[in-house]
Structure 1
């Protein structure tokens, strides 16, 4: 029974162990060094702005930029000058280097401390409402270049293959969506601008605009959408939607869409 419990525990601990081995130490991180049987060498140290640490018996050893196993190997080599075959363990007590920054007018600016590696989707899901953010123009900035752009497919369409693992120091830029309305114009009872919300459809917008006027041609409705520098026209057969229940005609809207209901001349 104990063996089974140990195996299960190791399975759950394995990802955390891998993350710890993969973690790159940075300035300001706090480490503990424990040398078995040598209490006078045990210490808790902070990585200095120059990237180095000092401890009893070891002066100025480079820590920043190395993983915990790499630093352990260096410390073992240094301490072996003092004691034979030292056995030591290094633990990360506090991480201030593994931060991800969220900026842009689309969301509140935030700084995420990552105790373990995470992905873009997980951070997006923790931001709350993204109604004001233009996800089509959002991107992840790393080491002077964009490594991921346009979050629409990932966040709204479930295209999870586009998810990326974030790295310490990444900046997620979330610009504001300047046009947050959908416009219903033409042959409707109450032409109006409607505040866009996720999941808004043609039928929702038409109902808010008081349905069609008596002069409307229900088969002459079009959605005009701006895609990049071009205008895209999406025809909608609203008669089939309203009278036949053809849900394929109930198009999902995007902020900035214009729904134009044309008048009938007969």
Structure 2
């Protein structure tokens, strides 16, 4: 991990912590796991490509034009045979397919193009609090709360595992929070609470309350 990335991660983590402190008293709690799951499924129906994502692009019967691994550059573009630079950031796989087919049609009759997003590296989920490794992690398709916690290295000794918070921007109405009970989940209770994550989700693992007043 480079020093610049460590510095950037530290700034992101500090900014996120300050944001959470600022809105802690205004968050609306969402108790329905089904609502969050449905929201995630709707939002990921058409994934938008971003810098760092790895694409596989196939042109039927044109092996010399097919590329198994093509990384989207930081400027949001890809370089592809015959058509040079193509802007990919913000497009779905289907949209990029149409753009490439149109560009290639100048050189190939009725090109049949397939675009697959093989790796998602442009979207982040944030895990902070009582975990081994705080900070941003790369979002993966079908990632759930438990997956993110595992990538963050699991819990520290005094983590409050039954009151983990998932904070998400929800349907344009501002952030909501959902309480995840890890202990109940691993005991086989309320398995539905392990909802799908979305890029930008924040998972907060608070410390145990050592004293109750």
Task: Tell me, yes or no, whether TM beats 0.5.
Answer: yes
> Any residues of structure 2 matched to 1:1-266 within 5 Å, and which?
22-43=46-67, 44-104=69-129, 106-108=130-132, 109=134, 111-124=136-149, 128-129=154-155, 132-134=158-160, 136=163, 138-142=165-169, 145-152=174-181, 156=184, 158-160=189-191, 162-177=193-208, 179-180=209-210, 256-257=211-212
Larger radius of gyration: 1
Task: Give me the whole-angstrom Cα distance separating, in 2, the residues matched to 1:122 and 1:37.
Answer: 39
- In structure 2, the partner of 1:8 is none
Greater strand proportion: 1
1:40 positional shift: 3.4
Aligned residues: 162
Higher relative contact order, structure no. (Cα contacts within 8 Å, ≥ 6 residues apart)? 2
RMSD: 3.4
Task: Give me the whole-angstrom Cα distance separating, in 2, the residues matched to 1:33 and 1:163.
Answer: 33
1:34 positional shift: 1.9
Task: Give me the whole-angstrom Cα distance separating, in 2, the residues matched to 1:47 and 1:54.
Answer: 9
3-state SS in 2 of match to 1:73: helix
The more displaced of 125-134 and 82-91 is 125-134
Task: Give me the whole-angstrom Cα distance separating, in 1, the residues matched to 2:164 and 2:63.
Answer: 55
1:37 positional shift: 2.4
- In structure 2, the partner of 1:202 is none
Gaps of 5+ in 1: 1-19, 181-255, 259-266
1:58 positional shift: 1.9
Task: Give me the whole-angstrom Cα distance separating, in 2, the residues matched to 1:27 and 1:63.
Answer: 9
Whether the aligned pair in 2 keeps the contact of 1:34 and 1:90 (CA below 8 Å) is: yes
Task: Give me the whole-angstrom Cα distance separating, in 2, the residues matched to 1:61 and 1:149.
Answer: 40
Whether the aligned pair in 2 keeps the contact of 1:107 and 1:133 (CA below 8 Å) is: yes
Whether the aligned pair in 2 keeps the contact of 1:97 and 1:168 (CA below 8 Å) is: no
Gaps of 5+ in 2: 1-43
Task: Give me the whole-angstrom Cα distance separating, in 1, the residues matched to 2:192 and 2:127.
Answer: 22
1:86 positional shift: 0.6
The more displaced of 107-116 and 26-35 is 107-116
3-state SS in 2 of match to 1:150: strand
Whether the aligned pair in 1 keeps the contact of 2:127 and 2:149 (CA below 8 Å) is: no
1:137 positional shift: 6.8
1:38 positional shift: 2.4
3-state SS in 1 of match to 2:102: helix
Task: Give me the whole-angstrom Cα distance separating, in 2, the residues matched to 1:91 and 1:149.
Answer: 32
Whether the aligned pair in 2 keeps the contact of 1:51 and 1:62 (CA below 8 Å) is: yes
Whether the aligned pair in 2 keeps the contact of 1:28 and 1:49 (CA below 8 Å) is: yes
Whether the aligned pair in 2 keeps the contact of 1:107 and 1:132 (CA below 8 Å) is: no
The more displaced of 154-163 and 95-104 is 154-163
Report the TM-score when normalising by structure 2.
0.59
| Deviation readout 1:77-125 (Å, 9 max, x if unpaired) | 2212221111122233433124322112x21215444442122255457
